[in-house]
Amino acid sequence: MKALFLGLLSLLFLRSSNAQIAASETNVLLQVQQLLEYPQVLQGWNNWTNFCSLPPSQSLAVVCSGNHITELSVVGNITNPRSLSKNFSIHSFFSTLTNLSNLKVLSLVSLGLWGPLPRDIDLLGSLEVLNISSNQIYGNIPASIATIKNLKNLVLADNVLYGRIPNLKGLQNLEELDLSNNHLGPRLPSLSGNVVSVTLKNNSLKFEIPSALQSYDRLERLDLSANKLSGPIPSFLFSLQSIQYLSLSRNHLSGELAKNVSCNKNLKYVDISNNFLIGKLPVCIQSNSQNRTVISWWNCLSNSSSKYQHRYSFCQKEALAVKPPAMNQKKRTTMKLGIVLGIIGATVGIVCTIGILVFIIYRRKAAAKARHHKDNGFIFDQNPARGSPIVDSRHRPQTMRRMATFGLPPYQIFTWEEIHDASNNFDYSNLVGEDSQGQVYNAWLRDGSPVLLKRMNVKHKHSPQIMKQYKESLSKLRHQNLVSVLGHCIANNVGNPNLTTIYVVQEFSINGSLRDHFKDWRKREVLKWPQRMGIIIGVAKGIEFLHRGVAPGHFGNNIKMKNIMLDENLNPKISSYTLPVPSKVGLESPLNRDTARESSLYACENPEKDDIYQLGVILLQVITGKLFNSRSEIAEMKLQLETNLTDVMPDSSPKMSDLADPSLRGTFAYGSLKAAVEITVHCLEDDSSSRPSIDDVVWHLQYSIQVQEGWNSSGNLDTRV
């Protein structure tokens, strides 16, 4: 009994001590939970949580020592990563963490962090381990990170970092550096001789491997694969004092390895595949042994145990292609003179151009005063009760095309090398998915910009005229409400001469889909009625452009909430629209039947009116806040809304305002809601011929927004039934 009493007393004392620890730094952890937007792994945290007694797990670890938190490790959803909302501030987040003054280990993996690393990250001066991998951190690595003197492990892998890696030689305690899967370069960073593991794979490193690596006596692991390193492989790499793992694959390394190369007896793994190496392998890496794995395929080696080698001429040609040509002094002088003359000519040309533009603008303004203004080719009936607007189709396509390229970079014809580099040779880890038209990859352009890359294999050969028309049709798919086409590349299929491969480069949206926002109740509540109507009118205008803004029109576009991407300003972009293919072409894809089965929820009698039905489903979900999984659920909700629109409504029927998402209450004008409900019901007609055109939909949605704006300006929102 006495022992039990002492045990309870000890436990109470321990809890009291832990409570004191929690009292000093609990608020910081609760702020972290809030700033991370309450991830699943932190759901149980509250004011009563005894943080220092939390059992460690693979997803969460909080360690305390000396009345302070010394470790915070959080791992989010790795299999289904997400991005934090546009309200997230990475600067505020790290400023909050600086209040944990004794923090030594900070690991935040796959939590959707986005934004540039703050320059004052060195305020976390006690850190020994910093791991912020698998997020969406972008921009440069701040030079101040090199002043965190106690840093032993720096892991920033799987982000969108770009630019030069700062000089890290001052980090004398640094043992592990992992910056893989970013866009950093072009040179390797300077490091101290105490580093043990360096992983820089899949970046933008160039030039030759520096000789400074000879001094890395403690280096056990070096991974420089999937970069653009050129020149010969230095012989010393194989015999570094502590080297065990060496990967140099998928670079532009060339030349012949020295015959007298010696290997460290502890070297267990060597990968020099997919380069432009010639000659013979040194004896110590000629073949796999019990203690050493050697991968050397896809070079031009004559004595490799692998049969997968290129011909000698291939490596000669490719090595010359990646080597920058020498330039003599005379050519440099000529180039400088040309640049000077070019600048002078360009300046004169710009001045002349500005003068001409000013003259044209003046003439147009003068002409505009002499005629009545017409509304961009749209002529509307001013009585909303009469239904849809009358559209002057003679002017609309030109107007749409002018709007289509607003804010977008110029259309680009990409080379095969650029496509290859952007996708990292179509690395499987970059594969997003596959639809009926082809495979979709995450990719990065050479300036670091993230993009989506669609690869399509099409059968048969086509005349130059057909391919020219096809290229023109691709270049027109640019609109502020589409995940626009930025460029393309057309190449012969290496594996099958009967196929042509088309690569389409599209915009990338980092803010998630409309469905993501509706699945997360916190994000859904941010979207009040005005925001939701702004999104839905954007979707409708995107469909209008696909139907009317390009010729021929694009129909059957798989319009779903999960395919509506939102940018940082909540501007919607349709991501799944049908890309054109050259006429009389069959697409190579195993998923045609699967895609058809997936679309069965939305019906498909008439592709044009099928898009209208799918838009109606999105409208229904936006109004009610519910995500529907079957046509019967859609039909039931449609019937309830339809009943509310009749003059005679049963007393037992729910009121229209009650059918709307509860989080919308107090934010919509009744007339605006009613107009949106009316067009929704019409979009969901079972008879496709009874569904409105996209022009009718856009007009009614604009009318709904006008009603809302009128009530907003009056300060009197009418939410009556």
Q: What is the pLDDT of residues 637-655, one digit of tens each?
A: 988 888 877 654 555 455 7
Instruction: State the Cα–Cα distance between residues 288 and 32, nearest whole angstrom.
Output: 50
pLDDT band at 656 (very low <50, low <70, confident <90, very high): confident
pLDDT band at 145 (very low <50, low <70, confident <90, very high): very high
Q: What does the pLDDT average to over 499-510? A: 82
Compute the 3-state secondary structure of the chain and give helix, strand, coil in percent, each to the nearest 5: 40, 15, 45
Q: Provide the H-helix boundaries in 2-41.
A: 2-35
pLDDT in tens, 384-396: 333 333 333 333 4
Q: What is the pLDDT of residue 20?
A: 53
Answer yes or no: is pLDDT of 334 > 50: no
**What b-and-e string marks burial along 175-193, b requiring 16 or more CB atoms within 10 Å of the CB?**
bbbbbbbbbbbeebbebbe
By mean pLDDT, which of 237-241, 465-469, 677-681 is the weakest? 465-469
Please return the burial class of 123, using the count of CB atoms within 10 Å of its CB with bins 0-12, 13-18 and 19+. middle
Structure tokens at 591: 């998923």
20-205 and 384-714 in the same fold: no
Structure tokens at 314: 């291939």
pLDDT in tens, 250-265: 999 999 988 888 999 9
* Residue 157 near residue 178, CB atoms below 8 Å: yes
Answer yes or no: is pLDDT of 377 > 60: no
Q: What is the pLDDT of residue 154?
A: 97
pLDDT band at 368 (very low <50, low <70, confident <90, very high): very low
Residue 342: HSE in the Cβ half-sphere, 13 Å Cα cutoff: 6
Q: What is the pLDDT of residue 363?
A: 47
pLDDT band at 428 (very low <50, low <70, confident <90, very high): confident
Distances, alpha carbon 212 to alpha carbons 217, 242, 246, 503, 719, in Å:
11, 15, 16, 40, 72
| Cα 168 from chain centroid (whole Å) | 29
Q: What is the pLDDT of residue 283?
A: 87
By mean pLDDT, which of 8-17, 371-380, 412-421 is the weakest? 371-380
Percent of the chain with pLDDT over 70: 73
Q: What is the pLDDT of residue 52?
A: 85
Residue reference for tokens 């011909």: 311
Instruction: State the Cα–Cα distance between residues 283 and 287, nearest whole angstrom.
Output: 8
3-state class of 666 per DSSP? coil
Enumerate the domain spans of the chain.
20-205, 384-714
Q: What is the pLDDT of residue 270?
A: 93
Q: What is the pLDDT of residue 239?
A: 93
Report DSSP state, residue 218.
T
Answer yes or no: is pLDDT of 287 > 50: yes
By mean pLDDT, which of 115-129, 194-208, 283-297, 558-572 is the weakest? 283-297
Q: What is the pLDDT of residue 683?
A: 93
Mean pLDDT of the chain: 78
Instruction: State the Cα–Cα distance between residues 426 and 455, nearest whole angstrom.
Output: 10
Instruction: State the Cα–Cα distance between residues 699 and 60, nearest whole angstrom.
Output: 51
Among the listed residues 171, 35, 13, 47, the one whose alpha carbon sits nearest the alpha carbon of residue 108: 35
Percent of the chain with pLDDT over 90: 31
Answer yes or no: is pLDDT of 446 > 50: yes
Report DSSP state, residue 232.
P
Q: What is the pLDDT of residue 358?
A: 53
Residue 359: HSE in the Cβ half-sphere, 13 Å Cα cutoff: 6
Q: What does the pLDDT average to over 572-581? A: 78
Would strands 438-444 and 431-435 be described as parallel, antiparallel, or unpaired?
antiparallel
Neighbours of 707 (CB within 10 A): 21
Q: Which of 59-68, 147-156, 629-638 has the highest mean pLDDT?
A: 147-156
Answer yes or no: is pLDDT of 83 > 80: no
Phi, psi at 503, each rounded to 5°: -110, 120
Instruction: State the Cα–Cα distance between residues 475 and 615, nearest whole angstrom.
Output: 25
Higher pLDDT, 561 or 320: 561
Superfamily of domain 384-714: Transferase(Phosphotransferase) domain 1 (1.10.510.10)
pLDDT band at 424 (very low <50, low <70, confident <90, very high): confident
Higher pLDDT, 266 or 335: 266
Q: What is the pLDDT of residue 365?
A: 47
| Cα 698 from chain centroid (whole Å) | 29
Higher pLDDT, 218 or 404: 218
Distances, alpha carbon 414 to alpha carbons 229, 421, 487, in Å:
22, 11, 7
Say if residue 186 is preceded by a cis peptide, omega within 30 of 0.
Answer: yes
CATH T-level fold of 20-205: 3.80.10
* Residue 477 near residue 484, CB atoms below 8 Å: yes
Answer yes or no: is pLDDT of 10 > 80: no
**What b-and-e string marks burial along 130-164, b requiring 16 or more CB atoms within 10 Å of the CB?**
bbbbbbbbbeebbeebbebeebbbbbbbbbbbbbe
Would strands 438-444 and 450-459 be described as parallel, antiparallel, or unpaired?
antiparallel
Higher pLDDT, 345 or 389: 345
